Chain A
Amino acid sequence: MTVKIVIGLDGTDTGERALTFAKELAAKIDDCELLVIYVIEWSPFTFQTAEENAQRHKRREEEVELATSRIVEPAIAALKEAGFKASGLVRHGDVAETLNRLTVENGATQIIVGRGSSDGFAKRIFGSSTQSLVMHADVPVTVVG
């Protein structure tokens, strides 16, 4: 049976370490598939100007494009090069909630994420999200330091 593992990336060094750890783990499993997910933090309950709203669809596509080309695709390429079966997803939403939902939807059995780095933006996005994920995930979560 194929074991599916989700790797939650945040574009930082700890995300890279999560990727490395996932590779080591996957190497020990016979039939393993890796799913790289990058979640762009987004809440439907923020306040925006009318102009931002009108531009939103375009911005969303730009954000997805950027995350795909800069983070997810290089990670998939690296995994494939190392001989693993790998695919990727980029989504908007609450990081912990979305990561968990996509894991369940795709039939994966565990999540590997980075601890979150200490610099402002990434911490805001991933620091607390990691805690939230650990608390609420439906599958086992490995946090890589």
Chain B
Amino acid sequence: MFNTSRFWLTPALASVAASPLAAQEAMGIDQKVNEAFASLTGPFVSLIFAPFPGTNFPWIVMWLVVAATIFTIYFGFVQFRFFKHAIQLVKGDYSDPNDAGEVSHFQALATALSGTVGLGNIAGVAVAVGIGGPGATFWMILAGLLGMASKFTECTLGVKYRNEYQDGSVSGGPMYYISKGFNELGLPGGKILAVVFSIFCILGALGGGNMFQANQAHAQISGIVGEYPGWITGIIFAGVVFAVIVGGIKSIANVTEKVVPIMGILYVGAALIILVVNYDMIGWAFGQIFAGAFTGLGVAGGMVGALIQGFKRAAFSNEAGVGSAAIAHSAVKTKEPITEGFVSLLEPLIDTVVICTMTALVIVISQQLIIDPETGNYMLNEAGTAIATVDGNSGVSLTSAAFASGISWFPFVLAIAVILFAFSTMISWSYYGLKAWTYLFGEGKTSELVFKVIFCIFIVIGAAASLGPVIDFSDAAIFAMAVVNIFCLYFLMKLVKKELASYASRLDSGEIKKFSH
């Protein structure tokens, strides 16, 4: 969900680089900071997003998809076998009424979802379909379905190895399961890997979970009210976030947490309305998706192009394998850690398979992508890098135009949704970053305050400047989290398998049974 900036900012940077005169004129402090930062972090960014030799397929996408496939097979298609059970758990069928008042499965799921559903579902999908064609949707769905197994693995471990403190509060996440799990298995290096993960998590939280969000929220607001300095947006956002995470003003967070799901439902609802109105085209749209998945329908890069875009968007949208959801899910009160794993596997389903597919269908059905009437293939834009669109739209503006073709006033709702999603993603990631921070520097009011203040400062920076290299670096940090996390999951997955076997047998024998409500 974070990487959209790469597609938007790179052309801008390229154009600056292509014109030396303009580059010199624009050489402000920002530019100098950018350049210094880029040269410092460039190698790291290039390493994370490096393609396989001779292709343009980023290895990190393969890393995530291969892991998801391995987990799917290793756990015997757990996402399908326990799908119904996951729904029952969320409904509370297996919750002891005497535990009421603790964090429910539903709440943990909703919290984790509000951290992942966002710009990736709105802008990211448009980028995927805009470049990879409708066929990208097919690969996106496939990657989403596989990603369910990655989430299952990491969230089970997140609950199993969390820290519970004397005062009753909890801290969990990859840093905890890596160090404790490796210890349990007698493997060396757990502590070091946990520290490395935490460092990447802090960087990812400040970047993708913060600066990118602030940056894109500002882009949306200035798109509606006209251009104005980004630091104004930054200060307002920082002020509100500060009030929530430092001031403890829960009401703001509560309002957001209530409004964000409504926005999500409204978004899916609007998509459904457009689909129902155009029901005669749904079959055609799916035809385009399937045909495009294997032929590319003339898009740049053909079938492989569609596949890369689909996999990339899914992986970047649902964060399966990144480890962030494991932090969010670890707060749930349950005697069976694996139940949280079952619940979490619904996340990629909702995020990628449902919401992203809705966006893709609306874009395809609205016929914003121009088809050559003679060949039936998609026409490319002048640069040949993406499919030509009706008004030359791409990214979030393509989604916006697609929805506007069905519901004319929807772009306004969409703009509000983008801002709220950005805000809720910031709140979620401030927590993920904080947990990594306290893992490194210890729990405590002062330590926490230092991180929270740093977090708020980065919001202003993110909104104020178009710090391409910084955001590239933050994206890289988020996926670097996945490198460490998945590497460790390969060692720890046998612990999850043990839990799964035990739980499944007790479920079959009737030892674990429903509570009547």
CB-CB under 8 A from A109, the residues of chain B are: none
Other-chain contact of A48, B95, B244, B257, B432 (Cβ < 8 Å): B257
Contact B169 A50 (CB under 8 A): no
Q: Judge whether A92 and B169 touch: CB under 8 Å.
A: no
The answer to the question of B111 belonging to the interface, with a C-beta cut-off of 8 Å to chain A, is yes
8 Å CB interface, A30-51 against B: 40, 42, 44-51
Instruction: Give the distance to chain A from B170, nearest Cβ to Cβ, in Å.
Output: 5
Most A CB within 10 A of own CB, among B100, B115, B167, B253: B100
A60 interface hit (Cβ, 8 Å): yes
With an 8 A cutoff between CB atoms, is A81 at the interface?
Answer: no
Chain B residues whose C-beta falls within 8 Å of the C-beta of A101 in the assembled complex: 97
B107 at the interface (CB under 8 A from A): yes
Q: Quick one: closest A residue to B332, CB to CB?
A: A53
B111 partner, pick from A50, A55, A63, beta carbons under 8 A: A50
Residue B260 at the A interface, CB < 8 A?
Answer: yes
Contact A42 to B101, CB < 8 A, known contacts A47-B107, A48-B107, A53-B331: yes
The reply to whether A52 and B170 contact each other, CB–CB distance below 8 Å, is no
Q: Which residues of A contact B169 (CB under 8 A)?
A: 54-55, 57-58
Verify if B343 is at the interface (C-beta below 8 Å from A): no
Interface residues on A, range: 20 to 34
Known A-B contacts A47-B257, A47-B260; the reply to A54 vs B170 at CB < 8 A is yes
In the complex, B81 has a CB within 8 A of chain A: no
Verify A40–B101 contact, CB threshold 8 A. Answer: yes
Once A42-B100, A47-B110, A49-B431 are accepted as A-B contacts, the answer to whether A54 and B331 lie under 8 Å apart by CB is yes
Among B104, B331, B431, contact of A44 (Cβ-Cβ < 8 Å): B104
> Is A61 engaged at the interface, CB distance under 8 Å to the other chain?
yes
Smallest distance from the beta carbon of A81 to chain B beta carbons, Å?
29
Whether the pair A53, B103 counts as a contact (CB closer than 8 A) is yes
Considering residues B106, B171, B432, which has the most beta carbons from chain A within 10 angstroms of its beta carbon? B106
Inter-chain CA distance A42–B102, complex, in Å, is 9
- Whether B114 lies near A47 (C-beta < 8 A) is yes
Assess whether B436 is interfacial by the CB under 8 Å rule: no
List of A residues within 8 angstroms of B84 by Cβ? none
Q: What A residues does B193 contact at CB under 8 A?
A: none
**Interface CB pairs A-B, < 8 A, 23:** A40-B101, A42-B100, A44-B95, A45-B104, A46-B107, A47-B260, A48-B107, A48-B110, A48-B111, A50-B111, A50-B327, A51-B431, A53-B111, A53-B328, A53-B332, A54-B169, A54-B431, A56-B103, A56-B333, A57-B103, A57-B169, A63-B101, A98-B100
Q: Which residues in A have some Cβ–Cβ distance to B below 8 Å?
A: 40, 42, 44-58, 60-61, 63-64, 91-93, 97-98, 101
The 8 A-B pairs at the shortest CB distance, nearest first, are namely A92-B101, A44-B104, A58-B168, A53-B331, A47-B257, A50-B431, A92-B100, A60-B101
